[in-house]
């Protein structure tokens, strides 16, 4: 379970989050919605431990505080961030990176050998409708927006987290890709009891990745929370009702 | 001269060489004792030549070079060489005397790197400069026999001078004359060791020839001299040095490498230099390429205090092609001044330089390159790509490209990028559970991948591992 209490975050001297309380239970899907500049991405980055985001308050995973942890230590506690803008690293082939990631997450002895892994990963890529040829290229190097997002989800599958944060993973996606990604996450989360924090501006991803709860963030504070119905309401009326 | 008769498409199958199956031994010291003295004088030069029982022309060659060395000023470009004390250097030491060094004297960080790389004990001691040589007589014997059956000569330079004096005389010093630069002159005066290779017409050597296999000469000497002749239509790949760090108490390494690529021939020369960080590594490398010939330099510089090295290709025949792939990693206290030179002297010649440099922990990496297209080099084309990666604020990267173009209808492209390892790249990989040094190593290995993929498999793996170790050692 991921738990946040009174989280305040400063970025370059400016307070962006002003005291946020949030909980994501295993297998639960929680949507964080809000207009631009409401602090949604700040929430994602501060949870993952980006050094630019100075946080106070409490953040814990499975009852263990992650406040003082570096990004890799948080990841090793089972936290996975799927990025809005995945970073490219040329020369680091996707295949090699994914296998290193896999080995990191799976102890020696129980892990698949490279050849088995290659077969498995190609199958997973195909299920995501991600061209397997991309696995031979540099990480996110020259990938389209949709390809990058699908690769984030492929990493998620390899990583097998306890909690996942999807930071506006739906931005810049066509309908087919959006549907594929949302349904895959929903399925994997359900099967593996993964807690999902889905950060989004729009309702459309939530049609396929149905939230148990919806939280509306505005001006760095939670201004409303409710069931999945709230997302539909926001879709209709926008964010102007939240004051 | 059956030795030089053309043998078409002969192949060597490398059945005998198995990594990890090295046997090793000492060469027996010869029956005289040479009292090495510090510093360089005419007397020392004469002594070196006399001890090697060289032909008179070589003795004269050395003495002439010695005079040039004394007269020539230090280079007025490149790295700071003021730390070299020419009077405090042993210019010739019998390999047998080198064995007196003690394993305990080898710095512990170098020893532990050997352990981490999983290098066998004997090889560790060899690389640590304790043993004069490291060899596999069994492997060597059968390999050399197969090579000589094909008419290939592969031996130490000293041995070549005695056994094939005419051949050596015809080519020695013909591409890099003693007067070329101060350090070429120094090498010409005091050279010892190095490789000699002759590949006859049409013979294609499938197996890379490695300095490892050469017996009875200290292949990693201070002033080694290498001469390679690839006759018409032939092919050879020569691999020099190794990726594991080489420890030496010698402070100056100054080699000369000359390569003749005849009509339609191809030569690839791969070096990974990883000298200990007390060494000034000043090397002159040059190839002369005839019509339709191809020369490829693959040059990696990891170690040393200072390296100045710019492998060169002189494209003298129509459609000749030259290629230089260079990787330099400059860490704490290191200055890698590396690059390449391509001189186009004939029509339709082509060249390409790809340079990748990495500077970290206060290191400095410089690219220094020359593209020259002389009058008459119609339709010459050249492309230079130099990419620099800077890991932190204390490190530095410079680029010094020079173009001399005297012909109109030529094409020259130059691309240069400088990048810093971004916080975003590091964060991205760390958020996947990789520690900072692992993330850095992934970025760095990705950066040099275009060159690493050109290396023989065992070298590329070891290079990646070594870079990982360097990152690990330098963070935290």
Nearest to B447 among A71, A76, A91 (CB): A91
A78 interfaces chain B, CB cutoff of 8 Å: no
Q: Residue B194 has what pLDDT? A: 86
A105 interfaces chain B, CB cutoff of 8 Å: yes
What are the residues whose beta carbons fall under 8 Å from the beta carbon of B128, sequence distance 6 or more? B103, B106, B110, B111, B114, B247
List chain B residues with CB under 8 Å of A80: 431-432
Nearest to B428 among A80, A87, A159 (CB): A87
B432 interfaces chain A, CB cutoff of 8 Å: yes
What are the residues whose beta carbons fall under 8 Å from the beta carbon of B130, sequence distance 6 or more? B99, B101, B102, B103, B106
Q: Residue B11 has what pLDDT? A: 40
Quote the tokens at residue A51. 């050094």
Best of B420, B427, B449, B465 to substitute, by most chain A Cβ atoms within 10 angstroms, is B427
Q: Residue B222 has what pLDDT? A: 82
Mean pLDDT of chain A: 93
Q: Residue B185 has what pLDDT? A: 97
Q: Residue A41 has what pLDDT? A: 94
Q: Residue B33 has what pLDDT? A: 44
A86 interfaces chain B, CB cutoff of 8 Å: yes
What are the residues whose beta carbons fall under 8 Å from the beta carbon of B258, sequence distance 6 or more? B171, B172, B173, B174, B175, B176, B226, B227, B228, B286, B287
Q: Is B431 in contact with A81 (Cβ distance < 8 A)? A: yes
Q: Residue B129 has what pLDDT? A: 56
Q: Residue B242 has what pLDDT? A: 63
Find the residue in A nearest to B429 (Cα): A72
Q: Residue B111 has what pLDDT? A: 73
* Nearest CA-CA distance, residue A193 and chain B, Å: 20
pLDDT class for A220, splitting at 50, 70, 90?
Answer: very high
Buried b (16+ CB within 10 A) or exposed e, B193-213: bbbbbbbbbbbbbebebbbbb
Give the number of residues written for chain A: 243
Residues A31-54 pLDDT 10s? 999 998 899 999 999 999 999 999
| Segment among A134-138, A149-153, A192-196, B204-208 with least mean pLDDT | B204-208
Find the residue in A nearest to B453 (Cα): A91
Q: Is B442 in contact with A86 (Cβ distance < 8 A)? A: no
List chain B residues with CB under 8 Å of A83: 428
Tell which residue, B223, B225, B38, B26, has the closest CA to residue B133: B26
- Rounded to two decimals, the pTM is 0.80
Q: Residue A20 has what pLDDT? A: 96
Q: Residue B240 has what pLDDT? A: 82
B449 interfaces chain A, CB cutoff of 8 Å: yes
List chain B residues with CB under 8 Å of A48: 427, 431
Q: Which residue is it, tokens 């990745």?
A: A209
Q: Is B428 in contact with A83 (Cβ distance < 8 A)? A: yes
List chain A residues with CB under 8 Å of B429: 89
Q: Residue B474 has what pLDDT? A: 53
List chain A residues with CB under 8 Å of B435: 72
pLDDT class for A232, splitting at 50, 70, 90?
Answer: confident
d(CA A68, CA B217): 58
Q: Is A49 in contact with B431 (Cβ distance < 8 A)? A: yes
Beta-carbon pairs below 8 A across chains A and B: 74
Q: Residue B17 has what pLDDT? A: 32
* Nearest CA-CA distance, residue B433 and chain A, Å: 4
ipTM score above 0.90: yes
Chain-centre distance for alpha carbon B347: 29
Q: Is A159 in contact with B433 (Cβ distance < 8 A)? A: yes
Average pLDDT along chain B, 476 residues, taken 10 residues at a time: 37 35 30 60 92 93 97 92 86 54 69 68 60 42 77 90 95 96 96 92 88 44 90 94 66 93 97 85 97 96 93 98 95 94 98 95 95 97 95 92 95 90 91 94 91 82 78 57
List chain A residues with CB under 8 Å of B443: 89, 92
d(CA B401, CA B175): 23
Average pLDDT over residues A164-182: 94
Q: Residue B3 has what pLDDT? A: 36
Quote the tokens at residue A122. 């190609």
The answer on pLDDT for A61 being more than 70 is yes
Chain B contacts in chain A segment 155-184 (CB below 8 A): 155, 159
Q: Residue B142 has what pLDDT? A: 62
Chain B contacts in chain A segment 129-148 (CB below 8 A): 138-139
The answer on pLDDT for A161 being more than 70 is yes
B443 interfaces chain A, CB cutoff of 8 Å: yes
């Amino acid at each position: 379970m991921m738990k946040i209490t009174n989280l305040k975050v400063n970025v370059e001297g400016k307070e962006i989050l002003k005291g946020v309380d949030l909980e994501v239970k295993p297998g639960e899907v929680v949507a964080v919605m809000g207009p631009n500049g409401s602090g949604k991405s700040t929430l994602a980055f501060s949870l993952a431990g980006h050094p630019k985001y100075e946080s106070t308050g409490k953040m814990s995973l499975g009852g263990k505080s992650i406040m003082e942890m570096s990004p890799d230590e948080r990841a090793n506690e089972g936290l996975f961030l799927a990025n809005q803008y995945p970073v490219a690293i040329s020369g680091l082939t996707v295949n090699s990176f994914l296998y290193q990631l896999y080995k990191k997450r799976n102890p020696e002895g129980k892990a698949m050998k490279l050849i088995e892994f290659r077969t498995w990963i190609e199958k997973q890529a195909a299920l995501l409708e991600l061209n397997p040829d991309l696995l031979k290229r540099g990480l996110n190097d020259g990938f389209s927006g949709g390809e990058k997002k699908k690769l984030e989800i492929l990493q998620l599958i390899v990583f097998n987290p306890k909690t996942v944060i999807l930071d506006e993973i739906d931005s810049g996606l066509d309908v087919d890709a959006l549907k594929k990604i949302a349904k895959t996450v929903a399925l994997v989360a359900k099967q593996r009891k993964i807690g999902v924090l889905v950060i989004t501006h729009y309702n459309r991803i939530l049609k396929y990745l149905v939230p148990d709860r919806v939280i509306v963030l505005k001006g760095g504070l939670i201004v409303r929370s409710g069931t999945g119905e709230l997302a539909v309401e926001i879709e209709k009326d926008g964010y102007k009702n939240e004051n | 001269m059956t030795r030089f008769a053309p043998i078409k498409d002969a192949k060597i199958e490398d059945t005998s060489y198995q990594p990890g199956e090295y046997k090793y031994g000492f060469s027996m010291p010869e029956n005289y004792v040479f009292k090495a003295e510090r510093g360089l004088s005419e007397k020392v030069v004469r002594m070196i030549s006399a001890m090697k029982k060289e032909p008179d022309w070589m003795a004269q060659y050395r003495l002439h070079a010695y005079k040039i060395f004394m007269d020539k000023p230090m280079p007025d470009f490149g790295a700071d060489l003021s730390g070299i004390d020419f009077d405090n250097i042993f210019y010739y030491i019998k390999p047998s005397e080198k064995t007196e060094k003690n394993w305990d004297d080898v710095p512990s960080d170098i020893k532990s790197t050997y352990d981490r790389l999983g290098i066998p004990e004997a090889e560790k001691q060899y690389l640590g400069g304790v043993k004069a040589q490291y060899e596999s007589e069994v492997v060597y014997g059968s390999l050399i026999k197969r090579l000589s059956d094909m008419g290939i000569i592969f031996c130490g330079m000293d041995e070549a001078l005695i056994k094939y004096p005419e051949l050596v005389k015809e080519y020695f010093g013909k591409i890099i004359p003693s007067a070329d630069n101060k350090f070429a002159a120094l090498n010409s005066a005091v050279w010892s060791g190095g490789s000699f290779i002759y590949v006859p017409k049409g013979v294609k050597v499938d197996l890379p020839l490695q300095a490892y296999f050469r017996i009875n000469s200290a292949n990693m000497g201070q002033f080694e001299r290498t001469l390679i002749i690839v006759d018409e239509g032939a092919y050879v790949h020569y691999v020099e040095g190794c990726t594991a760090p080489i420890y030496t108490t010698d402070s100056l390494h100054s080699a000369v490498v000359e390569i003749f690529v005849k009509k339609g021939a191809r030569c690839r020369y791969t070096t990974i230099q990883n000298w200990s960080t007390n060494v000034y590594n000043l090397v002159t490398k040059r190839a002369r390429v005839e019509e339709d010939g191809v020369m490829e330099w693959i040059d990696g510089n990891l170690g040393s205090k200072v390296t100045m090295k710019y492998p060169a290709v002189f494209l003298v025949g129509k459609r000749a092609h030259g290629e230089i792939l260079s990787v330099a990693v400059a860490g704490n206290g290191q200055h890698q001044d590396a690059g390449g030179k391509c001189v186009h002297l004939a029509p339709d010649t082509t060249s390409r330089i790809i340079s990748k440099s990495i500077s970290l922990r206060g290191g400095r990496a410089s690219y220094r390159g020359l593209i020259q297209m002389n009058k008459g080099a119609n339709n010459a084309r050249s492309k230079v790509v130099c990419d620099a990666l800077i890991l932190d604020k204390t490190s530095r990267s410079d680029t010094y490209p020079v173009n001399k173009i005297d012909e109109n209808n030529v094409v020259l492209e130059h691309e240069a990028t400088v990048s810093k390892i971004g916080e975003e790249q590091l964060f991205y990989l760390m958020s996947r559970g990789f520690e900072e040094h692992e993330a850095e190593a992934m970025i760095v290995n990705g950066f040099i991948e275009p060159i690493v993929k050109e290396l023989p498999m065992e070298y590329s793996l070891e290079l990646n591992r070594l870079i990982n170790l360097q990152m690990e050692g330098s963070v935290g």
